[in-house]
Chain A
């Protein structure tokens, strides 16, 4: 199967040899297929990446006016700016707190839904439904759930004899509250990735194992989890990258508060650029975050080099 070997060498797929002898104009024919995308890509990704980098060396203002070359001053200011480091820490804290529950719960949900027969449809509906909600809908509902007094969660807490928690206004718990909401909202995505991976495990493996008399727990431990290893690696990296980009739900639920205790780095970039109008400085911070995310992405390629799912 020549085709399949070509597939493996992804970017170097064999050119069809019929085209080699054709004149230049038709040799360029393929370019027309990629050109529309490449133009959009160049305009709305490559260009802002370059202008962002460029303006990080200037004191450009969103309000206009002349900008002067600053060299590395924006980057030096960034290193000395406490708000950069505290908001970066909030982003990292959010990432560390949200990744374990989002990955583990996604796995548990997928295992439960995968083995379910009659309940299957209902479980798949309930676990994933929150993911299709726009973020503002999610935060409106959760701000309501977190209300003091007549909020459903605090009401439940007082009913079982615990004291109320000031979910969104107590500096010590606001981040936890955001992580809880985020878990409810987005775990469905990891659930679906795990479910797709579970469905790709050949049934014969289980059939052989149960003929050998192994229990379902042994099957989980010796077949299912090892077969999910690569998927887990992928999900963790996707989750890390997604969590490092947190902004929406924090901004909508606490506005970064109380007392800036939950403000993530993207909110600081947003405020620097659009409230203080400092495009140059905001770009410098963007590039630092960009570098962080690229490092995580590259770690993915290093840790999980072949991206083939399941052993088929």
Chain B
């Protein structure tokens, strides 16, 4: 078996060509990021020199120093982290409880309610921006964290994914716990959830990336610069960078690199998580 697998992966001419294509495509895909890093490390005056050169007279962190000195961007990163984390934790809590309820308990109207939740998968949040903003204004949630967070907690697809997973767990474990006198909630917490770690990680990672990158909704519900998340905050100052490209790229990298680095470290989990949640959603 291992010999066969080794034979499948043995280096042939065709195999080497494919590896080369894969590598070149990967390098091409990294060029925009590499160019952003290169630009951010140049002295401002050298960013617009023609013909274009990758190597400036000196590499400098000046642009990063200026951007970090302005302070706003740290505040926006903090806001993004707070909002994305709360959205992720609360989504996991709400959807896993609901999925367990739909999978394992009975109550009048359960099937009807589950069908109603499933129908929500088809509703794109983008078409709700106008009535949702009106609602947020009536609730006094404009320019608040909750105003950003609450609408992002509606994740019917995640309820569907988790319910499917819970449906597949044999009931024996829970029945054993039930005989020991454990309550439903206790069984859910200490029997079912620990068995569901991989799928919860999948849903969590997927939710976090979506919330971190969400632009349209925070853009609509937030106008106070103090409350902005990174995508919205950067947009609000996009014009004021003018032709200072080193600073623009430094700001973009400060905003973008934390998650790229996190992805590099947690690659295995991210790939499995997004793949699973995406395919099943």
| Chain A residues proximal to chain B, CB less than 8 Å | 3-4, 6-7, 10-13, 15-16, 19-20, 27-34, 36-38, 40-41, 43-49, 51-52, 55, 62, 108-109, 112-113, 115-117, 119, 121-137, 140-142, 144-145, 149-150, 152, 155, 159, 184, 189, 192-193, 195-197, 203, 206-207, 210-211, 216, 231, 234, 238, 241, 244-245, 247-248, 252, 266, 269-270, 273-274, 279, 282-283, 286-287, 289-290, 293-294, 297-298, 307, 309
Q: Is B111 touching A133 in the complex (CB atoms < 8 A)?
A: no
Instruction: Rank and list the top 10 A-B pairs by shortest CB-CB distance, nearest first.
Output: A30-B105, A33-B101, A196-B275, A126-B26, A37-B98, A112-B22, A52-B131, A34-B101, A137-B256, A48-B131
Contact of A6 with B98 at beta-carbon distance under 8 Å, contacts A117-B9, A140-B234 already known: no
| Chain B residues proximal to chain A, CB less than 8 Å | 1, 4-5, 7-9, 14-15, 18-19, 21-23, 25-27, 29-33, 35-36, 39, 47-52, 80, 93-95, 97-98, 100-108, 110-111, 113-118, 120-124, 126-135, 150-151, 153-154, 156, 159, 163-164, 167-171, 184, 188, 209, 212-213, 215-216, 220, 230-232, 234-235, 238, 245, 248-249, 251-253, 255-256, 259-260, 262-264, 267, 270-272, 274-276, 278-280
Q: Is A123 touching B130 in the complex (CB atoms < 8 A)?
A: no
Q: Is A16 touching B106 in the complex (CB atoms < 8 A)?
A: yes
Contact of A124 with B267 at beta-carbon distance under 8 Å, contacts A33-B101, A134-B231, A273-B129 already known: yes
Complex-state Cα separation, A193 to B5, whole angstroms: 24
Query: Could you list 22 A-B pairs, sorted by A, with CB under 8 Å?
Result: A11-B118, A12-B111, A30-B110, A33-B98, A34-B102, A45-B123, A47-B135, A48-B131, A129-B29, A134-B213, A136-B231, A136-B234, A136-B238, A137-B255, A141-B32, A193-B275, A196-B271, A197-B275, A207-B1, A216-B8, A290-B123, A307-B280
Among A30, A116, A141, A270, the residue within 8 A (CB) of B36 is A141
Contact of A150 with B122 at beta-carbon distance under 8 Å, contacts A33-B101, A279-B131 already known: no
Among A132, A206, A287, the residue within 8 A (CB) of B259 is A132
Given the complex, which residues of B lie within 8 Å of A15, measured CB to CB? Answer: 106
Contact of A192 with B238 at beta-carbon distance under 8 Å, contacts A10-B167, A279-B134 already known: no
Q: Is A135 touching B272 in the complex (CB atoms < 8 A)?
A: no
Q: Is A16 touching B9 in the complex (CB atoms < 8 A)?
A: no
Q: Is A38 touching B32 in the complex (CB atoms < 8 A)?
A: no
Among A32, A142, A274, A298, the residue within 8 A (CB) of B32 is A142
Q: Is B263 touching A150 in the complex (CB atoms < 8 A)?
A: no
CB distance from B262 to the nearest CB of A (A): 8
Q: Is A247 touching B97 in the complex (CB atoms < 8 A)?
A: no
Q: Which residue of B lies closest to A20 (CB)?
A: B106
Complex-state Cα separation, A272 to B205, whole angstroms: 35
Complex-state Cα separation, A48 to B7, whole angstroms: 58
Q: Is B275 touching A136 in the complex (CB atoms < 8 A)?
A: no
Q: Is A134 touching B52 in the complex (CB atoms < 8 A)?
A: no
Main secondary structure of the interface of B (DSSP, over half): helix
Given the complex, which residues of B lie within 8 Å of A6, measured CB to CB? Answer: 167
CB distance from B175 to the nearest CB of A (A): 9
Complex-state Cα separation, A132 to B263, whole angstroms: 8
Contact of A48 with B135 at beta-carbon distance under 8 Å, contacts A41-B117, A119-B23, A196-B272 already known: yes
CB distance from B59 to the nearest CB of A (A): 18
Q: Is A155 touching B51 in the complex (CB atoms < 8 A)?
A: yes
Given the complex, which residues of A lie within 8 Å of B255, measured CB to CB? Answer: 134, 136-137
Among B127, B251, B280, the residue within 8 A (CB) of A269 is B127
Given the complex, which residues of A lie within 8 Å of B103, measured CB to CB? Answer: 13
Q: Which residue of B lies closest to A48 (CB)?
A: B131
Contact of A145 with B22 at beta-carbon distance under 8 Å, contacts A16-B104, A30-B107, A136-B215 already known: no
> Which one of B133, B188, B267, B275 has the highest number of Cβ atoms from chain A below 10 Å of its Cβ?
B275
CB distance from B57 to the nearest CB of A (A): 16
Contact of A33 with B271 at beta-carbon distance under 8 Å, contacts A140-B234, A145-B32, A238-B278 already known: no
Main secondary structure of the interface of A (DSSP, over half): helix
Q: Is B131 touching A283 in the complex (CB atoms < 8 A)?
A: yes
Q: Is B126 touching A245 in the complex (CB atoms < 8 A)?
A: yes
Q: Which residue of A lies closest to B248 (CB)?
A: A140
Q: Is B33 touching A130 in the complex (CB atoms < 8 A)?
A: yes
Q: Is B128 touching A49 in the complex (CB atoms < 8 A)?
A: yes
Given the complex, which residues of A lie within 8 Å of B5, measured CB to CB? Answer: 203, 207
Q: Is B276 touching A196 in the complex (CB atoms < 8 A)?
A: yes
Q: Is A207 touching B35 in the complex (CB atoms < 8 A)?
A: no
Q: Is A29 touching B135 in the complex (CB atoms < 8 A)?
A: no
Q: Is B98 touching A140 in the complex (CB atoms < 8 A)?
A: no
Given the complex, which residues of B lie within 8 Å of A274, measured CB to CB? Answer: 130, 133, 220
Given the complex, which residues of B lie within 8 Å of A31, measured CB to CB? Answer: 101, 105, 107
CB distance from A191 to the nearest CB of B (A): 9
Q: Is A44 touching B132 in the complex (CB atoms < 8 A)?
A: yes
> Which one of A29, A129, A130, A270 has the highest number of Cβ atoms from chain B below 10 Å of its Cβ?
A129
CB distance from A53 to the nearest CB of B (A): 9
Q: Is B275 touching A116 in the complex (CB atoms < 8 A)?
A: no
Given the complex, which residues of B lie within 8 Å of A36, measured CB to CB? Answer: 93-94, 97-98
Q: Is A7 touching B150 in the complex (CB atoms < 8 A)?
A: no
CB distance from A294 to the nearest CB of B (A): 5
Complex-state Cα separation, A217 to B171, whole angstroms: 45
CB distance from A139 to the nearest CB of B (A): 8
CB distance from B193 to the nearest CB of A (A): 13
Q: Which residue of A lies closest to B169 (CB)?
A: A3
Among A52, A115, A122, A252, the residue within 8 A (CB) of B128 is A52
